[in-house]
Amino acid sequence: MLMNRLCRFTAGLVLTLVSVTVSAQYLQTTMTATESPGSDADTLVVLVPSGSTQLALPGWSQATIDQVNRALAARDFDGSARQQVEILAPAGLSADRLIAVGVGAPDELTRHVAEEIGAALSVHINGSKAAVIEADTRLITDPARNTSIATAVAHGIELRNYRFDRLKSNPDARPSQSYRWVVISQTAAEQQYAMLSAVAQGVFTARELTNLPGGSGHPAAFAEYARDQLTPLGVEVTILGPEQVEAAGMGSLLGVSKGSQHKAHLLVAQWRGSNEPPIALVGKGNTFDTGGYDLKTGASILQMQGDKAGGAAVVGAIKALAAQQVQINVIAVVPLSQNSISGEAMLPGDVLTAGDGTTIEVTSTDAEGRLILADGIWYTRDRFQPRVIVDIATLTGAKTTALGSELSAVFSEHADLVATMRQAGELTNELVWQLPLGPYPGIIDSRIADIKNTGSPGAQAGAIFLQHFAGDTPWLHIDMASQALASSARGIHPEGGTGHGVRLLTEWVKIYAAQ
């Protein structure tokens, strides 16, 4: 939806590449693109490449050039990536402040570093009284790099400016500025930004779902929120309630929610961008995890609303892909449960029967994520015959012990899946590291059932358990434990839900489909 070639590409308000207006009250920051600078900004931001001998823009007086460059020299500013220097009351300019932002060598600046530069700029701007910001990018003279860097910086600003404040009676004011980006090609910037804005929408949706407390973000509420977000974009959404889950034979999914008043659901969302066999994304949607009778204790239980972050990631990814109008057939499946304790809850030692007939000994009620994913993966394989299945989950503490919170673990016997996922991770800085699936003979063998839901090493046991239900379909598992929630704001993430996995999966789907 272009508006006289000065398109407002506002995240949360307008996406220019879809046929409907996508509304969500995530941000109050607005972005516009133009090829001509204005005169009404109170703040001027200049993106400066390294190697610039003197900072100057068309129309600047010599007095302005002299003052600005003297101030920058005093701060040893040389345009290196991530440098940021503010100059108050710049001589000869109508703006109250000028902020020089270093972007390094434009042909070497990666997308994720540009996004982090934008996030840092947003923190600085939010600490000031700036209201109208003009960001001049014309010193980046290569047209393609000008577009990609400007839009990535803007994307980073918006990712950082998100706030989850819907449950506060008197929330703090959200960042509320108007950014005007002076670029070489307005049309190219609008088009590229629309694609990134679609990704931001997916990230925000995933953050909302992850942040919802267990009491209000239960299986039915998760599914309905996802439906509301996806159907306006043309995504086909089906929600299976508890009776339908039971009728389909998904006893493993059903068993996890037996102890809760909020019973199991299954969310299926399909974007039919092509008639090719679908690419399937399956996300763990355990909306709150008490651990069941293997009860979690201590402070960790306060973060267990984050156990639905894998499901949130696949919902966010399919939202982004639909908003981008990709010509790819994609399915997102989220098995939804709430792992609680009551007289009806599953017990350690119980045996569940999954949809494919596999019997499972529950050796830990706190290893519930693989139980619900088992039926989610089986259902996806059985009903849709996808060309590939990728599942994502906050699955094991063992993954965090092995890799910490900077890397997700991936498991697969398919080298092309690992290679393309690693490529997507490097593009988005949602990095992955492959861990082995074997040899671990007998790791999930059970004395009384076909398999059990625990084993050692823990991350491998979870992955091998899930591999069983993927059958012959090419499959990859992502363990994103400890990456769902940020304890404090950092980089592109505010405190709380990160939306981790949305950007990774969105890019991976496109990379994999293009092979």
Residue 1 lies in a domain: no
Shared domain for 191 and 226, answered yes or no, is: no
Our answer to whether residue 370 is catalytic in this structure is yes
Burial of residue 126 (CB within 10 Å: 0-12, 13-18, 19+) is: middle
Of 331, 303, 300, 299, the closest CA to residue 315 belongs to: 331
pLDDT higher than 80, residue 371: yes
Q: Give how many domains the chain has, as a whole number.
A: 2
pLDDT higher than 70, residue 366: yes
Shared domain for 310 and 415, answered yes or no, is: yes
Average pLDDT of the residues in 227-234:
97
Phi, psi (deg, nearest 5) at residue 319:
-65, -45
Q: Distance of alpha carbon 124 from its chain centroid, rounded?
A: 24
Residue 208 lies in a domain: no
Looking at 370, 452, 503, 510, which residue is catalytic?
370
Shared domain for 255 and 133, answered yes or no, is: no
Burial of residue 128 (CB within 10 Å: 0-12, 13-18, 19+) is: middle
Our answer to whether residue 75 is catalytic in this structure is no
Amino acid occupying residue 365: T
Shared domain for 192 and 271, answered yes or no, is: no
Amino acid occupying residue 33: A
Residue 70 lies in a domain: yes
Last residue of a domain, one of 176, 201, 226: 201
Residue 266 lies in a domain: yes
Which pLDDT value is given to residue 300?
Answer: 85
What CATH number has the domain bearing residue 135? 3.40.220.10
Shared domain for 182 and 228, answered yes or no, is: no
Shared domain for 227 and 194, answered yes or no, is: no
Tokens of 171: 């929330």
Task: Give whole-number Cα distances, 177 to 30, 122, 180, 298, in Å.
Answer: 6, 10, 10, 41
- How far is 484 from 107, CA to CA, in rounded Å? 32
Last residue of a domain, one of 166, 201, 236: 201
For 161, the 3-state DSSP assignment is helix
Ramachandran bin of 496, using left for φ above 0, alpha for ψ from -120 to 50, beta for the remaining angles: left
Residue 19 lies in a domain: no
Whole-number average pLDDT of the chain: 94
Average pLDDT of the residues in 134-159:
98
Task: Give whole-number Cα distances, 232 to 21, 23, 120, 405, 503, in Å.
Answer: 8, 10, 33, 34, 21
pLDDT tens digits for range 8-62: 333 333 333 332 233 346 888 999 999 999 999 999 999 999 988 899 999 999 9
- How far is 193 from 15, CA to CA, in rounded Å? 9
Contact 480, 309 (CB under 8 A): yes
What CATH number has the domain bearing residue 394? 3.40.630.10
Average pLDDT of the residues in 367-381:
98
- How far is 171 from 168, CA to CA, in rounded Å? 5
Tokens of 458: 């823990």
Residue 96 lies in a domain: yes
pLDDT tens digits for range 258-274: 999 999 999 999 999 99
Which pLDDT value is given to residue 25?
Answer: 64
Shared domain for 252 and 343, answered yes or no, is: yes
pLDDT tens digits for range 277-296: 999 999 999 999 999 999 99
Shared domain for 251 and 196, answered yes or no, is: no
Last residue of a domain, one of 145, 171, 201: 201
Shared domain for 193 and 237, answered yes or no, is: no
Tokens of 42: 């109170």
Which pLDDT value is given to residue 270?
Answer: 98
Looking at 8, 138, 296, 387, which residue is catalytic?
296
Average pLDDT of the residues in 196-207:
97
Average pLDDT of the residues in 480-506:
97
Shared domain for 119 and 149, answered yes or no, is: yes
What's this model's pTM, rounded to 2 decimal places?
A: 0.94
Shared domain for 248 and 181, answered yes or no, is: no
pLDDT tens digits for range 246-255: 999 999 999 9
| 415 band by pLDDT with thresholds 50, 70 and 90 | very high
Which pLDDT value is given to residue 223?
Answer: 98
pLDDT higher than 60, residue 242: yes
Average pLDDT of the residues in 91-117:
97
Going by C-beta distance under 8 Å and a sequence separation of 6 or more, which residues neighbour residue 7? 1, 14, 16, 32, 33, 190
Residue 25 lies in a domain: no
Please give the residue range of the domain that contains residue 174. Answer: 30-201
Shared domain for 246 and 347, answered yes or no, is: yes
Inter-axis angle of helices 458-470 and 369-384, nearest 10: 20
pLDDT higher than 50, residue 468: yes
